[in-house]
Chains A and B, each alone.
Chain A
Amino acid sequence: MPVYYLEIIVVALGLVMLMVDAFVKLEDKRSIAWIGMLGLVVVFALLFKVKWPESTEGAFWQFYSSGDRLALFFKGIAVLTTLIVLVMAVDYAPTVVAQTANPEPGAHRQAGLGEFFALPMFACAGLMWMASANNLVSIFVSLETVTIAFYIMVAYLRRNVGSLEAGVKYLILGALSTGFLVYGFAWLFGITGSMQLSEIATALAKPGVNPTMALFAFGLIFVALAFKVGAAPFHLWIPDVYQGAPTPITAFLSVGSKAAGFIIMLRLVTPFLASPALVGKVTIVLTVVAILTLLVGNLAALPQKNFKRLLAYSSIAHAGFLVMALASSPPAGGSISMTPATVIAFYLGAYLLMTLLAFLVMTTLRTKIAGEELDSFRGLAKRSPFLAFAMLVAMASLAGIPLTAGFLGKVFVFKLAVEAQQWTLLVFGLIGASAGFYYYLKIAASMYLSEPGKDSDVSAIPVSPLAKITMILLMIVIILAGFNPGVILGLFA
């Protein structure tokens, strides 16, 4: 089965969900989500069945894809993320209904819920395409598919000022970064005369390339990509948007959007790193951005008191580690180390597991606790030992404690930095990781070490079976991958 069928299936699923929402009379629209979930499980299984064609010559393939394992891996990340986001969305449905209900008499009680499940499917298709895009045009179109879907999803809670504010911020800054991206693409096309990444790489590696113009193009493109992945100093939108967006969408943004941003960054930066005339300066830019991102993400996370804001800064911090991997690309030839691509893929795989687990617990909690402040986690270990433990596993992995997937991700990045002799970067990485111990364990501390407030509710918190199974699976994979990275990397080989 050809690879592009997968995207077609996902889009078709999204359309079916919209149709069902419009034409089938459903008492409880949450069943729409099940169509998407079941479909995505099938798509995920099919990922292991698909084949690239013998030759990827020809106009279509040039436009659609680069046929490598990395692309498949990131398609898998996109599908899995969307699947878990839908699981969260089901639990989150009451909030969506409350914030979007149609006040007119006779309207469906859950009017406006159906699209909340369908939109992630379209974003997912875009993310999947992004994973294999290898042409400036297809990169741009797939990126916009995703971004536009996100504009709507972020602002989905239309009676909630926070969500609307987040939507506007995301829209304005997203549009701005798109502008940078297109302008950079134009320059790149002007220098190299091609839209095809492979041809761009060849052109940039030639000795005759004009370094000033090439670096200008790189600068513009990198600014746009830094926006997408939330690298400092272009991270400013992240905390506000993450805090305001509906929780499942925050999770989607923080995992799906970041993963896709990084695969694009990887594909676009690699030609520059392979060019002898440019590699030095590009590495300096990457190093500086990595240092800034590590510092901003980790240090700003320290005083945070809101769970979603804290995870927003944590997502910036992890972007820092990922850019660090990119900045530690081994010198061409004669190196035995892992490639940054493998490291980034593993790191994002691990990041997916732990971040989604954290958000999943948060979504479940949100049905019973008042706010998203860390204080509302107090005494959770007594109220719901299971949820507290799940959150503890997620936090341990995010902090990079051994025998969790997150630790191995950091080990891979540090090893890359040592081999590239990026000593300064390594020191900042260490500072970042140490700070991480504090702010992630802060959540564990408020769950386990603090007593619940005097007049707060201490009744048990119900966990839906679907969410419970997903959490258990995520925990198992996080711990297994901490023992045996093959669990994640095996999807690669």
Chain B
Amino acid sequence: MSIIEIIVFLPLLAALAVGLGSPARFTALGASGLVLLLSLVTAIQFSTSVEGTYQFVSSRTLLEIAGFPKLSLAFGLDGMSLVLLLLSAIVLIAAVMVAPKENAIKGSARLYYISLLLIAGGAIGAFCSTDLFFLYAFHELALIPTFLMIGIFGHGENRVRTAWTITIFLGVGSLILLVGLILAVSSLGATTFDIASIITLAKTPETAMSPDMQGWVFLLLFIGFGILVSLFPFHSWAAPAYAEAPTPVAMLHAGVLKKFGLYGLIRLALPLAPVGAEKWLNLVLILLIGNILYIGLVTIAQKRLDRMLGYSSVMHMGYVFLGIAAGNHIGLSGAVLLMFAHGISIALLFALSGWMRDQFGTLDFDKLGGIAKPLPKLGLIFGFGVFASLGLPGFANFAAEIEIFFGAFAGEGETMTWIRWATVGALWGVVISAVYMLRAYRNIFLGPLPKKLATPADLDWSMRVPLILLVATLVAVGFVPELLNQYIRPAINGILLVTPG
């Protein structure tokens, strides 16, 4: 067994073990700790001088029959998947630590932890798969656990309805995606599901798809992946789902799982259908401006912290789309880095908002206020989250956003192309984020303390550990983006190679 196989199967085996009766929280903590440890080991052993190939590869052929591409259970890492694996591992352990103890869970604690492990296992499996089939399949593994988690353990009266909405949206998105992938595989005449071989076919002029076909494939993949990433106008599932999901699920879903769609766009859509990507560039730009400006304004209008965070997470996806639309080295690197940074920062914010909901019983802005004085540690860590999220220098988000804006504005000449206009529009998003984030901070933490509000004790160590882990990651990457850029650079080079090999 290779190290990647162990990483991928650990959460799944832990879920099985919990199902068969091993202590839920203990097993989950152990498995996620091991996953983080092993991910760090791979990161250290990872060679950054190799471009465009996977490392730590392992492959088991499962099916070889005439007429159907060869199917293998194959895993491997390039720089981009490594960064996302690290993201998943960090958020997973934070989410498990934040999750309530067994006796504090209403309902079956086993089901709670099994679902949590399956959601994370699905994301990790998807990021590590080098076989197209399993890349898709692992992502879907999270679908039913998410449905059950929100439906059973969610907050609010509408949780069942919300569970349905997210499941139907993601299910339909995945189906559209599936058709796009089948279309690509069939029209390339691929005889294997190995992603590298399929992309080689797509980049070789003799076997590449016709421009028309590329247009269709890109459109299907863009919409399919887009729905999974809450692309405007398919975003309506996201904010209510994150607001009503149990805290660890919101952290994992907004922080990790949603990145799968973006990962897919960079890993598959761009290399498979570059002509299609150019063809639909303007559509991409219009929708991403919708994400940044329209959703940005929607975010400002929110009156509850969890909803506001949900919408802000939808809005920030627009920047990643901008980096992908830029399609050049710096834009794509920024996109990957922002996927990481946003994942950590939104997980941090959801962890805090979940804790606050449990303690105060409300997240309405007009019922809270001035709690930084009695709860200084909460105020401090929340401040870190807020400033990271709005892209203050010194946090990973800043490094990423700056790369994206440079990438999107790059190019020869002084004419204002569409993408440059879009960049100018997107820059206003920074202002919008500052408005809603700072306003939220002021409403909750500053000003007079409402008389009716009972103030609980400040964050204890069981909460501080995961939160400090997340903050430290944000700051470390913010000051030394090279920590991750050293992995991202060769991966993006590999993806952008015009001729394979």
Using CB atoms and an 8 Å cutoff, list the residues of chain A in contact with chain B: 335-339, 342, 381-382, 385, 392, 396, 401-403, 407, 411-412, 414-415, 418-419, 426, 430, 433-434, 437-438, 441, 444-445, 448-449, 482-486, 489, 493
Contacts and interface: CB of A to CB of B under 8 A. Distances in A.
A337 B187 CA distance: 12
Given A337-B67, A437-B167, A485-B63, A411 B141 contact: no
A403 B137 CA distance: 6
B2 interface: no
* Residue with the highest number of chain A CB atoms closer than 10 Å, among B148, B163, B167, B189: B148
B424 interface: no
Interface string B71-83: 1010000000000
A445 B168 contact: no
Nearest to A393: B144
9 interchain residue pairs of minimum CB distance: A402-B137, A338-B67, A402-B140, A437-B171, A449-B151, A484-B62, A337-B67, A418-B186, A434-B172
A448 B62 contact: no
Please tell me the size bucket of the interface on B: 35 or more
Contacts of A396: 144
Given A415-B186, A418-B186, A484-B71, 7 more contacts: A336-B191, A342-B65, A403-B137, A407-B137, A445-B147, A445-B164, A482-B137
7 contacts: A434-B172, A437-B167, A441-B164, A445-B160, A448-B148, A448-B152, A483-B73
Contact of A449 (B152, B172, B178, B187): B152
B168 A485 contact: no
Contacts of B140: 401-403, 407
A445 B141 contact: no
A342 B67 contact: yes
Contact of B144 (A385, A401, A430): A401
B111 interface: yes
Contacts of A336: 66-67, 189, 191
A336 B68 CA distance: 8
Interface of B: 62-63, 65-68, 71, 73, 107-108, 111, 136-141, 143-144, 147-148, 151-152, 160, 163-164, 167-168, 171-172, 175-176, 178-179, 182-183, 185-187, 189, 191
Contacts of B172: 434, 437
Given A411-B178, A445-B164, A434 B171 contact: yes
B179 A426 contact: yes
A491 to B, nearest CB: 12
B168 A438 contact: yes
Given A407-B137, A437-B167, A483-B73, A412 B151 contact: no
Nearest to A339: B67
B163 A414 contact: no
A343 to B, nearest CB: 9
B236 to A, nearest CB: 16
Nearest to A410: B178
A482 B71 CA distance: 12
Nearest to B150: A449
Contacts of A385: 108, 111
